[in-house]
Amino acid sequence: MALDITTARPWPALLDLPWRLPLEEWPEDRLAALPRGISRHVVRFVRLEGRVVAIKEIKDDIARREYAMLRMLRRLDQPAVEPIGVVSGRLTRDGEPLDACLLTRHLQFSLPYRAMLSQSLRPETATRLIDALAVLLVRLHLVGFWWGDVSLSNALFKRSAGEFSAYLVDAETGELQDRLSNGQREHDLDIARVNIAGELMDLQAGGYVDEDLDPIEVSDRIIQRYTVLWTELTEVERFDLGERWRVDERIRRLNALGFDVGELDITTDFDGATIQIQPKIVDAGHHSRRLLRLTGLDVEDNQARRLLNDLDSYRAAHDRQNDDEEQVAHDWLMQVYEPVTRTAPPEMRRKIEPAELFHEVLEHRWYMSEAAKRDFPIEEAARDYIAKVLPSKPDDSAVVGVDTAEMPVRART
């Protein structure tokens, strides 16, 4: 059997990797020591031509299925890791067959929950992670993806202006359908809750999180958050014809949650006295889409919300309410955003995403103002932040997390 490398785009450098060795035995100097979640398969990160590739050793058919599923999810614009390809037909030097490998692109600036939690022990960190996972699950369910293995380990998290956004990393058990039944959604939620509780209990048993964090209570939150979101995004609302403002109100609420309404079903009953509305198509990324349109910046939704707020303040401060929105945005980008995010010296820039840096500087300015009881220009806040705060920040791209051991289940060993 010959080595078979299936990729969407050809990448000859892949041929140089030591495919004849079991992933567990790959030489250290090829690997990137980045944190990982718990897994049953062996997963390693490799630096290749300036990129970091995540490699998972897994049965051929499952690898192909997962690869196809990840491609589909990307096509559906869902937050998931980017699939690179599948390598199969691997043999050891002695001719023993080895499992296939699924290759995905390492999600930059992302962290597995274990690293997030052990790094910042603030009690609300856990609940924010859950909130992000709830958003991810709702989004996936809306497009008909039945995950089957929802857990903190199977998601990756990125900082997003004081919140987190979650990405799907493990699509092994997923199925895509036209529409999920309530039973299927409940099933995913139930799995999520048990896995989250288990994952938190595990961290507690290892002494990585605070004793007063209650894993069961925190895990319950996934159900609450999910239910609130799902209801807001899908529920039918009825009201009198006179209360038409409630249509706008509903759309505003959805926008605030970060969703655009692509299609809203509005019907009146036969005497025309009551209106019934139900969102039919909703798309996440309300703020990030708007920011992208105005500035070309592609950032997480909550970061975008933050940047848009700053853009609004800029507009007010410069008394440009009547100017063309795009022109103002362009000026803000050139005069505020770019200079601030470029204040950081290059070696510190890999610690933090530009949009996240901008958010941190805004926060920092607020603290400075509180302390000094006066306003500060953002440039000054940026210099101060970069001198005093950023150097001592943990390097997200270099934390080697808590133990990230995998627990393979197989006949050998």
Ligand X SMILES: Nc1ncnc2c1ncn2[C@@H]1O[C@H](COP(=O)(O)OP(=O)(O)O)[C@@H](O)[C@H]1O
Ligand Y SMILES: Nc1ncnc2c1ncn2[C@@H]1O[C@H](COP(=O)(O)OP(=O)(O)OP(=O)(O)O)[C@@H](O)[C@H]1O
Q: How far is the CB of 170 from Mg ion (least distance, A)?
A: 3
Alpha carbon of residue 101 to chain centroid? 23
**Residue 89 binds which entry of ligand X, other proteins, Mg ion, none, CB below 5-8 Å type-dependent:** none
Site string for ligand X, 175-194 (x = CB under 6 A): --xx----------------
Q: How far is the CB of 183 from ligand X (least distance, A)?
A: 12
- Residue showing the smallest CB distance to ligand X in the complex: 177
Q: Report how many residues bind ligand X under the rule CB under 6 A.
A: 2
Helix residue ranges, H only, 92-214? 113-119, 124-142, 182-205
Segment contacting ligand Y (CB under 6 A): 36-44, 126-134, 232-240, 338-346?
Answer: 36-44
User: In the block, which residue shows the tokens 């008394």?
Assistant: 319
Q: How far is the CB of 52 from ligand Y (least distance, A)?
A: 8
Interface pick for ligand Y out of 14, 23, 37, 86 (rule CB under 6 A): 37
Express the helix, strand and coil content of the chain in percent, nearest 5 each.
45, 20, 35
Structure tokens at 405: 């051991």
Of residues 97 through 126, those in contact with ligand Y by CB under 6 A are: 104-107, 110, 112
- Residue showing the smallest CB distance to ligand Y in the complex: 37
Q: How far is the CB of 146 from ligand X (least distance, A)?
A: 8
Cβ burial, residue 95 (10 Å; 0-12/13-18/19+): exposed
Q: How far is the CB of 340 from other proteins (least distance, A)?
A: 42
Angle between the N-to-C axes of helices 301-317 and 354-372, in degrees from 0 to 180, rounded to the nearest 10: 50
**Residue 354 binds which entry of ligand Y, Mg ion, other proteins, none, CB below 5-8 Å type-dependent:** none
Among 85, 60, 59, CA closest to 70: 85
Q: What is the DSSP letter of 412?
A: -
Cβ burial, residue 389 (10 Å; 0-12/13-18/19+): middle
Q: How far is the CB of 174 from ligand X (least distance, A)?
A: 13
- Secondary structure (3-state) at 321: coil
Give the binding site for other proteins (CB under 8 A).
38-40, 58-59, 62, 148-149, 151, 153, 172-173, 178-179, 181-184, 186-187, 190-191, 193-195, 197-199, 201-203, 205-206, 216, 219, 403, 405, 407-413
